[in-house]
Amino acid sequence: MVAVAREVSSAALAARVRKAYVGNATPSFLLDLEIEVPSGITILFGASGAGKSTLLDCIAGLTQPDAGRIAMNGDVFFDSEENLNVLPQRRQIAYVFQTLALFPHMTVEANVAYGLRDAPEQARSARVSEILQMFRVEQFRARKPREISGGEKQRVALARSLVTLPRVLLLDEPLTGLDAELKGSIIEDLRAWNAAQKIPILYVTHSREEVDALGERVIALEHGKIVSEGTPREVLDAPRRKRLAQAAGFENLLAGTVLDLREPDGVMRVRLAGAPREIEVPLGHASPGDRVRIAIRAGDILLATEAPRGLSARNVLAGKIASVERRGVIVIARVDCGLIFTVHVTPGAERALELAVEKKVWLVLKTHSCHFVED
Amino acid sequence: MNITALLLSIRLALCVSAILFVVGVPLAYWLAYSRWRWKFLLEAVVALPLVLPPTVLGFYMLLAMGPHGALGKLWYAVFGHGLAFTFAGLVIASVLYSLPFAVQPLIASFETVDRKLLDASAVLGAGRMRTLGRIILPLSVPGIITALVLSFAHTLGEFGVVLMVGGNLAGITRTVSIDIYDRAQSLDYAGASHTALLLLMISFVVLSAVYGVNRRAGRRAWLPWPAK
């Protein structure tokens, strides 16, 4: 076996996990990896369906791996060979879900105090107050979760998890939907807390911006396996960058050639390979004639069924629908504009626009939704 | 109107509702969350009284409670008297008869509790009992009220099971529905109609309360005849 008696640093979580995953939304895959999470923030980066949440569930004990070993400082949480599986409530591993899962019938204060039932009343109250202050949500202690904003909820969820002084903190995209400034300030508060506690924090995200902002150790996951590991720059700029760009939510990755730079406008024109189409993208480090890649998120493309006029967007491409496929709450349309674009719309939009194969449509790309990737 | 019969019915319905709450919560918890592959068999058993004629259920209960039935023998060994044609026998039969009316609304409302809340409770150190008491039950209050009220109302109105298991002993097993039947049989239509009207009104008030509570909670009540 691989991990027999391997030396680990004093406060590191070590997990070796194998789990066949049969999902109904995503194709089945095998989660098969070995990671070591030292104290401080480690980012787990990958597309949805890469196995990030499944890995966190295994570490927290909410899902049982098929095989492997999960341990921290010699305390074993799970070991398939010894048939050992510690219940989640006994692992002292805090877990902030993407949905936060605040208890809707309890006040902020009761939510935060939930994990402290063994402490005497006075100590409990003091610790709750302290952590609420630390995360700047003290003034909301008597409110219910539905009465506070998204950012405040995220702070309360963090406070609720950290007040128990966990040994490990798992964060599953806890800051989605917040603007960069708010994100930054919450992350700073988290760092301040961990400066004293020094526990391993595993932070899951599919956002490149968050990887850049958190700026620590990154583990990139793809189809249940680790594809690269290192600093954000190393991971994002690895030769696998093309696939990681897709992992980061860029469903459209287009090859092209720079035609000219329009510095006063802050844009450059790119001729797309494979079709006589030109689009405008934000100015990047390139010269005319350079081969580049442009990454566009499927959710950033607007779809119109009539030729749009009077728009600020410079890039309007006509095409035909090649396929429409509904997956959960998103509808994936593939549009043939000489080359195929993937576009996400809501089921409501699909009905309103009466999308069907062969229907003529126009794609509208905001210049700043076209991300320039050096090739 | 027969006050003795009415009080007996209410006493029976209260006992049955209380027992069904105590029995129904763990049963519904298990049915809502277990992943046992043969679970559907137990689900079918719990739902049986919905479709079975009360006389069939009553017949089997009578056999079980009789001096040669397993339940009857056990009861005799413990309490020194038989179970058939007693109030206790009536309670046991009614609990079975009203079981789906308590368990189904509980399952339905347990299942609407977000699983992530249960996971959150577990990673915050709570065991199953604490999660049930602090998270699942408080978030299922409309379902619990529905369960209690439906068991009460359904027991109040039962007839066939009572007749089979309890017979017709004044003050012991003669419930309102039996009383109404008796009076109609002996052509005392005035007496029957008073009691019948009262039962109708109680049932209507009770069901209005259930739908009202569930509407305020923004949920749909589980009822054999769903609200539109």
Same domain flag for A74 and A204: yes
Per-residue pLDDT, A295: 83
Q: Do A114 and B116 touch (CB under 8 A)?
A: no
* Overall average pLDDT of the A39-60 stretch: 88
Per-residue pLDDT, A8: 40
Nearest chain B residue to A157 by CA distance is: B120
Number of H helices, E strands in chain B: 11, 0
Contact residues, chain B, for A104 at CB < 8 Å: 117, 139
Could you give the CA distance from residue A372 to residue A364 in angstroms, rounded to a whole number?
17
In angstroms, how far is the first alpha carbon of chain B from the final one?
A: 35
Residue type, A216: E
Per-residue pLDDT, B140: 92
In this structure, are residues A88 and A57 in contact, taking their beta carbons and an 8 Å threshold? no
Distances (CA, A) of B168 to B3, B97, B163, B164: 15, 18, 7, 9
Of residues A177 and A344, more confidently modeled: A344
Q: Is B125 on the interface with A (CB under 8 A)?
A: yes
Same domain flag for A227 and A328: no
Express each pLDDT in A138-174 by its tens digit. Answer: 999 999 999 999 889 999 999 999 999 999 999 998 8
The total of other beta-carbon atoms located within 10 Å of residue A53's CB is 19
Whole-number percent of chain A with pLDDT over 90: 33
Please give the residue range of the domain that contains residue A334. 252-374
The domain that holds A227 is classified in CATH as 3.40.50.300
Q: Do A94 and B123 touch (CB under 8 A)?
A: yes
Q: Which residue has the tokens 């995360």?
A: A135
Q: Is B26 on the interface with A (CB under 8 A)?
A: no
Per-residue pLDDT, A22: 67
Per-residue pLDDT, A27: 56
Nearest chain A residue to B119 by CA distance is: A62
Could you give the CA distance from residue A37 to residue A43 in angstroms, rounded to a whole number?
10
Q: Do A103 and B127 touch (CB under 8 A)?
A: no
Nearest chain B residue to A102 by CA distance is: B117
Same domain flag for A181 and A213: yes
Tell me how close the Cα of A153 comes to any Cα of chain B, in angstroms.
14
Q: Is A97 on the interface with B (CB under 8 A)?
A: yes
The total of other beta-carbon atoms located within 10 Å of residue A285's CB is 8
Cβ neighbours of residue A48 closer than 8 Å, sequence gap 6 or more: A26, A206
pLDDT tier for residue B27 given thresholds of 50, 70 and 90: very high
Express each pLDDT in A203-212 by its tens digit. Answer: 998 877 778 7
Which of B112, B113, B115, B124 to substitute to test the interface with A, most A CBs within 10 Å?
B124
Q: Do B119 and A105 touch (CB under 8 A)?
A: no
Q: Which tokens is A106 given?
A: 């309890």
Same domain flag for A355 and A217: no
Helix (H), strand (E), coil (C) string for B184-198: HHCCCHHHHHHHHHH
Q: Do B123 and A105 touch (CB under 8 A)?
A: no
Q: Do A89 and B122 touch (CB under 8 A)?
A: yes
Per-residue pLDDT, B198: 87
Per-residue pLDDT, A23: 59
pLDDT tier for residue A7 given thresholds of 50, 70 and 90: very low
Express each pLDDT in A317-355 by its tens digit. Answer: 889 998 888 877 778 899 988 888 989 888 888 888 888
pLDDT tier for residue A1 given thresholds of 50, 70 and 90: very low
pLDDT tier for residue B168 given thresholds of 50, 70 and 90: confident
Express each pLDDT in A187-233 by its tens digit. Answer: 888 888 888 888 999 999 887 777 877 767 899 888 888 888 888 77
In a domain, A100, yes or no: no
Of A247, A264, A296, the last residue of a domain is A247
**Short-list A82, A37, A26, A81, CA closest to A59:** A37
In a domain, A184, yes or no: yes
In this structure, are residues A328 and A310 in contact, taking their beta carbons and an 8 Å threshold? no
In a domain, A40, yes or no: yes
Tell me how close the Cα of B16 comes to any Cα of chain A, in angstroms.
29
Per-residue pLDDT, A340: 86
Of A225, A247, A269, the last residue of a domain is A247
In a domain, A31, yes or no: yes
Contact residues, chain A, for B127 at CB < 8 Å: 87, 89
The domain that holds A271 is classified in CATH as 2.40.50.100
- Which domains can be identified in chain B, with CATH numbers? 3-216 (1.10.3720.10)
The answer on pLDDT for A4 being more than 50 is: no
In a domain, A115, yes or no: no
Contact residues, chain B, for A93 at CB < 8 Å: 123
Tell me how close the Cα of A79 comes to any Cα of chain B, in angstroms.
19
Q: Is A105 on the interface with B (CB under 8 A)?
A: yes
In a domain, A104, yes or no: no
Q: Which residue has the tokens 């897709």?
A: A246
Q: Is B133 on the interface with A (CB under 8 A)?
A: no
pLDDT tier for residue A26 given thresholds of 50, 70 and 90: low
Eight-state DSSP code of residue A62:
S
Same domain flag for A277 and A353: yes
Of residues A322 and B168, more confidently modeled: A322
Helices (H), A5-149: 52-60, 108-113, 121-134
Of A192, A214, A247, the last residue of a domain is A247
The total of other beta-carbon atoms located within 10 Å of residue B200's CB is 11
Same domain flag for A83 and A177: yes
Helix (H), strand (E), coil (C) string for chain A: CCCCCCCCCCCCEEEEEEEEECCCCCCCEEEEEEEEECCEEEEEECCCCCCHHHHHHHHHCCCCCCEEEEEECCEEEEECCCCEECCHHHCCEEEECCCCCCCCCCCHHHHHHHHHCCCCHHHHHHHHHHHHHHCCCHHHCCCCHHHCCHHHHHHHHHHHHHCCCCCEEEEECCCCCCCHHHHHHHHHHHHHHHHHHCCEEEEEECCHHHHHHHCCEEEEEECCEEEEEECHHHHHCCCCHHHHHHHCCCCEEEEEEEEEEEHHHCEEEEEECCCCCEEEEECCCCCCCCEEEEEECHHHEEEECCCCCCCCCCEEEEEEEEEEEEECCEEEEEEECCCEEEEEECHHHHHHHCCCCCCEEEEEECHHHCEEEEC
The total of other beta-carbon atoms located within 10 Å of residue B38's CB is 8
Per-residue pLDDT, A282: 81
Phi-psi region of B187 (alpha: psi -120 to 50; beta: other; left: phi over 0): left
Express each pLDDT in A94-104 by its tens digit. Answer: 999 989 999 99
Q: Which tokens is A101 given?
A: 């899962």
Q: Parallel, antiparallel, or unpaired for β A168-172 and A200-205?
A: parallel
Q: Is B120 on the interface with A (CB under 8 A)?
A: yes
* Overall average pLDDT of the A241-251 stretch: 60
The answer on pLDDT for A369 being more than 90 is: no
In a domain, A116, yes or no: no
The answer on pLDDT for A175 being more than 60 is: yes
Among A153-167, B184-198, B209-223, which stretch is predicted with the lowest mean pLDDT?
B209-223
Express each pLDDT in A287-312 by its tens digit. Answer: 788 888 888 888 889 988 888 887 77
Tell me how close the Cα of A90 comes to any Cα of chain B, in angstroms.
6
Among A25-29, A268-272, B85-89, which stretch is predicted with the lowest mean pLDDT?
A25-29
Nearest chain A residue to B118 by CA distance is: A101
Could you give the CA distance from residue B17 to residue B99 in angstroms, rounded to a whole number?
10
Q: Do B117 and A103 touch (CB under 8 A)?
A: yes
Whole-number percent of chain B with pLDDT over 90: 39
Q: Which tokens is A169 given?
A: 């903190």
Q: Which tokens is B155 given?
A: 């027991």
pLDDT tier for residue A10 given thresholds of 50, 70 and 90: low
Per-residue pLDDT, A25: 53
Tell me how close the Cα of A64 comes to any Cα of chain B, in angstroms.
14
Q: Which tokens is A103 given?
A: 């208890």
In a domain, A126, yes or no: no
Same domain flag for A359 and A283: yes
B 181-220 residues inside an 8 A Cβ radius of A = none
Same domain flag for A281 and A354: yes
The pTM (predicted TM-score) of the whole model is: 0.70
Nearest chain B residue to A98 by CA distance is: B116
Q: Concatenated DSSP letters for B147-202?
A: HHHHHHHHHHT--HHHHHHH---TTTT--HHHHHHHHHHTT-HHHHHHHHHHHHHH
Q: Do B123 and A87 touch (CB under 8 A)?
A: no
Same domain flag for A261 and A302: yes
In this structure, are residues A268 and A286 in contact, taking their beta carbons and an 8 Å threshold? yes
Same domain flag for A269 and A350: yes
Contact residues, chain A, for B114 at CB < 8 Å: 99, 101
Q: Do B126 and A105 touch (CB under 8 A)?
A: no
Q: Which tokens is A62 given?
A: 């909410």
Which of A54, A58, A59, A62 to substitute to test the interface with B, most B CBs within 10 Å?
A62
Mean pLDDT value across chain B: 87
* Overall average pLDDT of the B195-207 stretch: 87
Tell me how close the Cα of B132 comes to any Cα of chain A, in angstroms.
13
Express each pLDDT in A75-122 by its tens digit. Answer: 899 999 999 999 999 999 999 998 999 999 999 999 999 999 877 888
Same domain flag for A81 and A179: yes
Same domain flag for A266 and A237: no
Q: Do B122 and A101 touch (CB under 8 A)?
A: no
Among A125-129, A235-239, B109-113, which stretch is predicted with the lowest mean pLDDT?
A235-239
In angstroms, how far is the first alpha carbon of chain A from the final one?
A: 41
Q: Do A93 and B114 touch (CB under 8 A)?
A: no
Q: Is B126 on the interface with A (CB under 8 A)?
A: yes
Count how many domains chain A has.
2
